[in-house]
Structure 1
Amino acid sequence: MTKPVITLKDATVTVGNQTEILKQLNLEIYPGDFITVLGTNGAGKSTLFNAISGDLALSSGTVYHQGKDITNLPAVKRTAFLARVFQDPKMGTAPRMTVAENLLLAEKRGSRRTLKNRHLSNQKLDFYHNITEKMGNNLEDRLQTAAGSLSGGQRQALSFLMAIQVKPELLLLDEHTAALDPKTSAQLMDATNHQVIDNNLTALMITHNLADALTYGNRLIVLNAGKIVLDVKDQEKKDLSEEDLLEYFVH
């Protein structure tokens, strides 16, 4: 039987005056899952991601990676098997380094990062040209451009490529298209979907776009008040409509 990549068992996060953000949440993420995550503001979506990434400690409960208890494993250690793309395009890149240098840096995720020599061979540049070309936004023409000079869409596409440069066991997409205009968002979402499928990635994606939640991925979960109130996959997910999902927000 296939073992989950990540398991959350009775995961609870309590803050301030005993307010529970996650409430004994249980979730198993299997290899190849592409899970879209919906929920109102305050439902616990970002807290769920922070609990998985190790950026927020559980008040109680357990997090497992491949069956091993990692509840107390620091976030920096989890980067060996986990990558995350944030909503803000500025968060995933080094602005003064070129696109190619950022991609080179990403190859060292999970290990000690040093760039004593930034010289890139033609072979390496050709490789970077090929992977950036797949993003469909002319990023391949800007390999020698500082990341800080890119458009928001190009910089977010770079953040995404950096996250998958060393194939993670789990990719967290934290509303990674939300800060972009509709056209650029749709373009990046399409490229994301192709990359996830082509590279057989396991991913969780927070979105507020009901259409995207239904269109992409094999599985969908809805959070409400710190609990998973809907978890559907495959045909059951395909049978859902936006009206069905809206019921979870109305009530």
Structure 2
Amino acid sequence: MIKKTEAPLLSLADIVTTVNGGTPNEVTILNHLNLNIYDGDFITVLGSNGAGKSTLFNTISGELPVTAGTIKLRDRDITHLSVEKRTAFLARVFQDPKMGTAPRMTVAENLLLASHRGHRRTLRLRGLKQQMPHFKEMTATMDGNGLSERLNTATENLSGGQRQALSFLMATEQRPDLLLLDEHTAALDPKTSAQLMAQTNQRVTQERLTCLMITHHLDDALKYGNRLIVLDQGKIKYDVRDEVKAALTKEQLLGFFESID
């Protein structure tokens, strides 16, 4: 169990999340889960299928309502806050490269849209032309995928790696309080996946973003982040950080999974 003296950025207290409530198919996925997330945490999230990883993200983002428990952001109760209102402080990148971008809008138009995330919408000029140098510089940080040369290309015409890189840039453009990476490299080929993961780590660490990243790759879970948690049957069964995490081996982690099967 992690013990910190500072106040958490996000606190999940005794969270129960049930789906298909009141039917014969009712299932409790998160089972009195407790988790404190601190400013600057880069947490890799592991767990077998059905352990509750995606449900945890859907609960944090507001996609799934909690059955019981409390969610607080900087000590403000957001348990029943809508998905739309949570976008003011939360961003998410999904596994599917087609999610998170508008396919018929250009790369630059998608980035412009992301720059207004969480802001009140008003009638005003887009200012796209003035933003192009900034977007050029931003996309150039995603080395080697050619995204900076495709600012005027419709997103639907990008490769999967380019589209996922764009999704990541859009999610981090406004520096969210909390970034959720939902297996964001899983649909990519090994080379593109490794490239995006390295770029992700660079941006998260340089910007000191607070981030949770679901992954099925034990090597990535061990290599990246300052903290690692393992979910099992809707609860956090393992939670390590800093020097303890850095000393973990793949064999030790595999042994832990075998012990909870």
Common topology (TM > 0.5): yes
8 Å CA contact 1:83, 1:171 repeated in 2:
yes
Match of 2:215 among 207, 210, 214: 207
Q: How does 1:213-232 map to 2 (within 5 A)?
A: 213-232=221-240
Query: Do structure 1's residue 51 and structure 2's residue 59 form an aligned pair?
Result: yes
8 Å CA contact 1:105, 1:113 repeated in 2:
no
Please identify, of 141-150 and 105-114, the stretch whose mean Cα deviation from structure 2 is larger.
105-114
Corresponding residue number in structure 2 for 1:96: 104
CA distance in 1, matches of 2:78, 2:45: 23
Change (3 A) 1:240 1:18: same
- Using the TM superposition, give the Cα deviation of residue 113 of structure 1 relative to its aligned residue in structure 2, in angstroms: 4.5
Query: Do structure 1's residue 8 and structure 2's residue 19 form an aligned pair?
Result: no
- Using the TM superposition, give the Cα deviation of residue 19 of structure 1 relative to its aligned residue in structure 2, in angstroms: 2.2
- Using the TM superposition, give the Cα deviation of residue 124 of structure 1 relative to its aligned residue in structure 2, in angstroms: 1.7
- Using the TM superposition, give the Cα deviation of residue 2 of structure 1 relative to its aligned residue in structure 2, in angstroms: 3.1
Match of 2:74 among 55, 63, 66: 66
Match of 2:204 among 196, 203, 213: 196
Please identify, of 184-193 and 107-116, the stretch whose mean Cα deviation from structure 2 is larger.
107-116
CA distance in 2, matches of 1:175, 1:66: 26
Identity of aligned residues (%): 63
Corresponding residue number in structure 2 for 1:130: 137
Q: How does 1:15-26 map to 2 (within 5 A)?
A: 15-16=19-20, 17-26=25-34
CA distance in 2, matches of 1:223, 1:115: 45
SS at match of 1:89: coil
RMSD: 1.4
Query: Do structure 1's residue 249 and structure 2's residue 257 form an aligned pair?
Result: yes
Change (3 A) 1:64 1:3: same
Match of 1:167 among 162, 168, 175: 175
8 Å CA contact 1:105, 1:115 repeated in 2:
no
- Using the TM superposition, give the Cα deviation of residue 97 of structure 1 relative to its aligned residue in structure 2, in angstroms: 0.7
Match of 1:107 among 115, 122, 127: 115
Change (3 A) 1:115 1:207: farther
Corresponding residue number in structure 1 for 2:188: 180
- Residues 71-95 of structure 1 deviation map (CA, whole Å, 9 limit, x = unaligned): 1111111000000000001111011
CA distance in 2, matches of 1:60, 1:234: 31
Q: Which runs of 5+ in 1 are unaligned?
A: none
CA distance in 2, matches of 1:248, 1:22: 20
SS at match of 1:71: coil
CA distance in 2, matches of 1:88, 1:112: 28
Q: How many equivalent pairs are there?
A: 250
Please identify, of 11-20 and 188-197, the stretch whose mean Cα deviation from structure 2 is larger.
11-20
SS at match of 1:244: helix
Query: Do structure 1's residue 146 and structure 2's residue 154 form an aligned pair?
Result: yes
Counterpart amino acid of residue 167 in structure 1: R
CA distance in 1, matches of 2:238, 2:222: 13
Please identify, of 1-10 and 65-74, the stretch whose mean Cα deviation from structure 2 is larger.
1-10
SS at match of 1:168: coil
Counterpart amino acid of residue 189 in structure 1: M
Q: TM-score, normalised by structure 1?
A: 0.96
